Amino acid sequence: MQIVEFGAGTLRFLEQPPQKVPEGGFVWIYLDREELQASLPALQQAAQSLGGSALLDLHLKDLGNRAHPSHYDYTSIYDLVIFRRLATEEEVKVELGDDDAADADKVLATFGRIRTRAIGFAVFDRLLVSVHPAGCQSARTFIQRYLGEVVRNEGVTAVARTRLPGSPADLMLRMVNMMVDSYLELRKVLSAELEHWQHALLAARARGADWAALLSARNALHTLEDLCEEQNDAMQEWLDGQQEQPAPWMTQAERDGLMARARDVVEHIERVVHHVRRMEHGAETAVQIHFSALGNRTNEIMRTLTALTAIFLPLNLIAGVFGMNFEFVPLVHQATGFWWTLGTMATIAIALGVVFWRKRYLARTR
């Protein structure tokens, strides 16, 4: 369990929760989900003394549930926000195992490797409790950032820059915004893979497509869309609650800055949802164009075969006439009859071929 005390332009990393909140500051308690039960007595005591209320048992279960969807709930003392972030590459490898490493180069492989992790926040007026997966990169990034910004002087930890969060809600929004940024980065990778698949699908010499990979990608996009909609609903409900019942100790400038950051997070989530829906529509359109192209190729092949059949029909007619079992057939008993017939058939075939070529019935498909 990590404990960070934010003051007026300063911060301290503590071993134990403080007895009271610093003037003009707040306390951040960060712990892994695996140690939640072991740290529960100390956590509840800190929530009671620093936040004014212990965490409800139902909310503790939500914080400890690694499969919990994005969600927002509240009490009269604190807000509960659960947000699902993208799993890191190391976490994906651990979950899927070494056997999945060979599938990384397959078509649309990134779609099948999308995994998420739940992070829970209990946001008090002067206390933030966050529960993360083990080794969470989100919390480590902020801790390392703040460690890099501090300067120690005579046992007091002061901050070289003043870009510290001003409230628990502000810190929570900063972490959520960083998680949403990872979804924005994921869009580029997914779009590049989907575009490459579409070009391969619509290539003139394409022999087929990996439809199993496409179905997996569509399922991944549907899951990602549902996930982002849940995130959007949770953050929108939290934003509505802050607008209806703002913290009384906040100044108008602090409240405006917090609302602007929250609206920015919601807007980023909406951008991800819009992009996912656009990719779904693009995949559906590519499949429709693919089958339309296949139908067009089939029609062109049938047109060519029909033209060739039309060329040989009069030749078959001539061969059928001279194959009749009559005693007297013109040209049959003449020495040049065969050559006249063969020349006539060649002339008819060439003439029909030229006519069909000019009408582009025998045009080459590009």
CA atoms lying within 13 Å on the CB side of residue 20: 3
Q: How many CB atoms are closer than 10 A to CB 45? A: 12
The answer to whether 220 and 194 are in contact (CB under 8 A) is: no
pTM, to two decimals: 0.74
State the pLDDT at residue 112: 80
* Bridging pattern class, strands 127-132 and 26-32: parallel
152: pLDDT strictly greater than 60: no
Residue 162 reports pLDDT greater than 60: no
Q: For the chain, what percent of residues have pLDDT higher than 70?
A: 88
User: Terminal CA-to-CA distance of the chain, rounded, Å?
Assistant: 66
Amino acid found at 150:
V
Is the predicted pLDDT of residue 102 greater than 60, yes or no? no
Q: What is the pLDDT of residue 204?
A: 60
Q: What is the pLDDT of residues 257-313, one digit of tens each?
A: 888 888 998 898 999 889 888 888 877 777 777 778 778 778 888 888 888 888 888
Please tell me the predicted confidence (pLDDT) of residue 154.
37
Range in 170-174, 204-208, 209-213 the model is least confident about: 204-208
| Amino acid sitting at position 98 | D
Mind spelling out the 3-state secondary structure of the chain? CEEEEECCCEEEEECCCCCCCCCCCEEEEEEEHHHCCCCHHHHHHHHHHHHCCCCCHHHHHHHHCCCCCCEEEECCCCEEEEEEEECCHHHHHHHHCHHHHHHHHCCCCHHHHCCEEEEEEEECCCEEEEEECCCCHHHHHHHHHHHHCEEEECCEEEECCCCCCCCHHHHHHHHHHHHHHHHHHHHHHHHHHHHHHHHHHCCCCCCCCCHHHHHHHHHHHHHHHHHHHHHHHHHHHHHHHHHHCCCCCCCHHHHHHHHHHHHHHHHHHHHHHHHHHHHHHHHHHHHHHHHHHHHHHHHHHHHHHHHHHHHHHHHHHHHHHHCCCCCCCCCCCCCCHHHHHHHHHHHHHHHHHHHHHHCCCCCCCC
Quick one: pLDDT band at residue 47, thresholds 50, 70, 90? Answer: very high
Beta bridge partners of 84: 118
Residues 215-233: b if buried by 16+ CB within 10 A, e if exposed: ebbbebbeebbebbbbbbb
Q: What is the mean pLDDT of residues 138-160?
A: 59
How much is the average pLDDT of 241-249? 78
Amino acid at 4: V
- Which of 28-42, 187-201, 306-320 has maximum average pLDDT? 28-42
Residue closest to 113 by CA, chosen among 227, 219, 198: 219
**How high is the pLDDT of residue 332?**
73
- Span 102-121, average pLDDT: 78
Q: Domains along the chain?
A: 2-292 (no CATH), 298-358 (1.20.58.340)
**Given a cut of 90, is residue 144 above it in pLDDT?**
no
- What pLDDT, on a 0 to 100 scale, did the predictor assign at position 342? 86
Q: CA-CA distance, 70 to 80, in Å (whole number)?
A: 11
At 185, list the tokens: 């980065």
Contact 9, 110 (CB under 8 A): no
* pLDDT greater than 80 at residue 250: no
At residue 124 the predicted structure's pLDDT band, cuts being 50, 70 and 90, is very high
Tell me the C-alpha distance between 219 and 213, whole Å. Answer: 10
- Contact criterion met (CB below 8 Å) for 181 and 268: yes
Say which residues have a Cβ less than 8 Å from residue 273's Cβ, sequence separation at least 6. Answer: 225, 228, 229, 232
Most confident of 235-249, 268-282, 319-333: 268-282
Q: Are strands 127-132 and 116-123 parallel, antiparallel or unpaired?
A: antiparallel
Over residues 78-89, mean pLDDT = 90
Neighbouring CB atoms inside 10 A of 154's CB total: 5
Looking at residues 2-26, what average pLDDT do you find?
A: 83
Structure tokens at 323: 């194959």
